[in-house]
Amino acid sequence: MEYSIKHLTEEDRKAFKKTHELAETKEWAVMDGSIVFSVHDTELEAAAEQTKLNLAEKIFDLYEVWREGLSDRLGVSNETIDEAVQDHI
């Protein structure tokens, strides 16, 4: 998934205001295509949020690779691995 930062026009803000309470005062959005994940006052805040989302996605992707390898080696399902991980979080 690729996240992008978009400067919100006045029209964008009016449209987002209908579904996002804070959109009226925010000028930047972090998006994936047409899905808005968050809105921010400054481009720097939006860039920080974009970085967090990108890192979270990479961590999740690495977890999936680790889980697949472990489930293959142990001969158990991915769900079993997920349950064991949840028990230790």
Q: Is the pTM of this model over 0.75?
A: no
With bands split at pLDDT 50, 70 and 90, how would you rate the model's confidence at 22? Answer: low
Output DSSP code: residue 42. Answer: S
Average pLDDT score over the chain: 88
Number of domains in the chain: 1
For residue 83, pLDDT over 70 is answered with yes
Dig out the tokens for 55 from the structure: 């890192």
Domain that holds residue 75: 4-87
Q: Which residues pair with 40 in a beta bridge?
A: 28
Q: Is the pLDDT of residue 25 over 80?
A: no
What are the angstrom distances between the C-alpha of 73 and each of 43, 61, 76, 81, 86? 45, 19, 8, 12, 20
DSSP state of 3: -
pLDDT tier, 23 (very low <50, low <70, confident <90, very high otherwise):
low
